[in-house]
């Protein structure tokens, strides 16, 4: 696997790959990689002849009181994991290189970013859409593989690609879960053993709500209450549990098969998110 630690090196490698006739799949990440990230790389390898991942803890998507400074960083471990799934290259950069002095240009997506995580993280998506536009320009991939675990993020980025005619395809990939159902996340590392147990409230609440939906409960507020009560029982602090339209992310009174039930909650100091598309089966336990 090639380690490309500067924008110019990525551009040179991509140019060479293009001359060789390759298609390019891209997996942007913030590192601290887990199996969920690796499923995206495997999918990139399956659909494209070259796969490149980026590792960049993007400062502009963190709010002033969020976990930028303590976000886990493990470049050596990450490189080994990426190499183990035959990733062809990893791109790393620094805030200094990526945001040059005098940086004043932002990409914003409206409406889709105002609810859910956007309500409590008002500058988050501006950081995500800006960093992704820049990454897409540097890497110029054919396809970008992103996790549905961050459902709002994928929806926002698909809208951005459509609205700005960016020549890439966003490929949403299923949420990879621990055996007990917890959605894999780099932030799970922050959890103590007790918090790790209580963190199950998110996926269990979603599963219970999904079962209620499948048994005929269609009132959005009641489905949300099922998740909220699970978080409360686990002594978590709910940020939101919302039934929204899967495309517009608008809140829905009545749920349907295309609706998404999305949840964010603090377990201790750690903010976790998860979601489920209500018309889908709950994923079978692995392992
Ligand atoms: P992050 O490093 O958290 O910014 O995530 C990088 C990419 O991995 C994003 O597209 C995420 O949606 C995706 N991702 C994170 N966790 C999971 C998971 N459990 N399953 C699938 N994709 C994931």
Told to judge if 37 belongs to the known catalytic residues of this protein, a careful annotator would answer yes
Please count the CA atoms within 13 angstroms of the CA of 39 that sit on its side-chain side.
Answer: 16
DSSP 22: -
User: What pTM did the predictor assign?
Assistant: 0.98
The two tokens of residue 64 are: 């002033």
Express each pLDDT in 227-269 by its tens digit. 999 999 999 999 999 999 999 999 999 999 999 999 999 999 9
**Cβ of 124: how many Cβ atoms within 10 Å?**
20
- Ligand 1 site-directed mutation target among 30, 37, 143, 152, most atoms within 8 Å of CB: 37
Distance CA 254, CA 26 (A): 37
- Ligand 1 site-directed mutation target among 34, 147, 186, 277, most atoms within 8 Å of CB: 147
- In whole angstroms, what separates CA 80 from the centre of its chain? 21
Express each pLDDT in 46-60 by its tens digit. 999 999 999 999 999
Residue 287 has pLDDT above 80, yes or no: no
Express each pLDDT in 55-103 by its tens digit. 999 999 999 999 999 999 999 999 999 999 999 999 999 999 999 999 9
């Amino acid at each position: 696997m090639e380690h490309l630690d500067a924008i110019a090196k990525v551009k040179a490698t991509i140019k060479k790959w293009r001359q060789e006739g390759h298609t390019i799949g891209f997996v942007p990440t913030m590192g601290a990689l887990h199996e969920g990230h690796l499923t995206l790389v495997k999918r990139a390898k399956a659909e494209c002849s070259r796969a490149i991942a980026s590792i960049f803890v993007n400062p502009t998507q963190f709010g002033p009181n969020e976990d930028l400074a303590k976000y886990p960083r493990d470049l050596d471990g990450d490189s080994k994991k990426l190499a183990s799934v035959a990733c062809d290259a990893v791109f790393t950069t620094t805030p200094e290189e990526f945001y040059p002095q005098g940086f004043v240009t932002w990409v914003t997506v409206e409406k889709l970013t105002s609810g859910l995580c956007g309500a409590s993280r008002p500058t988050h998506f501006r950081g995500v859409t800006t960093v992704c536009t820049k990454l897409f320009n540097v890497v110029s991939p054919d396809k970008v593989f992103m996790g549905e675990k961050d459902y709002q993020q994928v929806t926002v980025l698909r809208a951005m690609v459509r609205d700005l005619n960016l020549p890439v395809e966003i490929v949403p990939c299923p949420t990879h879960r621990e055996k007990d159902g917890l959605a894999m996340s780099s932030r799970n590392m922050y959890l103590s053993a007790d918090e790790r147990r209580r963190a199950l409230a998110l996926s269990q609440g979603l599963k219970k709500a999904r079962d209620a939906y499948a048994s005929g409960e269609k009132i959005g507020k009641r489905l949300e209450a099922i998740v909220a009560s699970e978080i409360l029982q686990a002594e978590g602090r709910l940020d939101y549990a919302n039934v929204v339209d899967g495309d517009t992310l608008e809140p829905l009174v009545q749920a349907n098969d295309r609706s998404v039930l999305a949840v964010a909650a603090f377990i201790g100091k750690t903010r976790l998110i998860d979601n489920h598309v209500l018309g889908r089966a709950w994923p079978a336990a692995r392992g």
